[in-house]
Amino acid sequence: MLPTLTFIGHLETPYKTLNDCPNNIQHDGPTCEVVLDSNCAAGLSGLKHGQNVLLLYWFEGVDRSLLLQRPGNKPDKDPVGVFSLRSPHRPNPIAASVVQIQAINGDRVAVQGLDCLDGTKLIDIKPA
């Protein structure tokens, strides 16, 4: 049996293209929203304003074969292994960010400074 992955919602950010996205989370960056599917919203119970959470999310449309990459995509840098980078191009394009909860409103959680495209699929939320 193959493992399956269930997305529990999506992330809303101001970034529409990869060129718009920062290369890392920015704790003082723009407000972003974690939006849970309605059948998962009850899972937010117990989380609180000011708490740090680990978000796991899925990068789509990436090259999953790039094991060596140039940091920051800069041609003057020597290539390094993908596991030493936050690049979205990786064998399993799972991203992780620790962010602080700014507010919780129903099935929405406001956070700051994510580094992903608007609409990125959410895999999980864990206390950090």
CA angle 86, 59, 110 (to 5 degrees): 85
- Output the CA torsion 83→86→88→93 (10° steps): 50
Domain residue ranges of the chain, discontinuous segments joined by +? 9-127
Contact 37, 123 (CB under 8 A): no
Long-range contacts formed by 72-78: CB under 8 A, 24+ apart: 72/23
Global pTM value: 0.88
More confident residue, 77 or 9: 9
pLDDT digits (tens, 9 = 90+) for 21-79: 887 788 889 999 999 999 999 999 999 999 999 999 998 888 888 889 888 767 888 99
Determine the distance from the C-alpha atom of residue 94 to the mean position of all C-alpha atoms in its chain, rounded to a whole number: 8
Classify domain 9-127 by CATH number.
Answer: 2.40.30.70
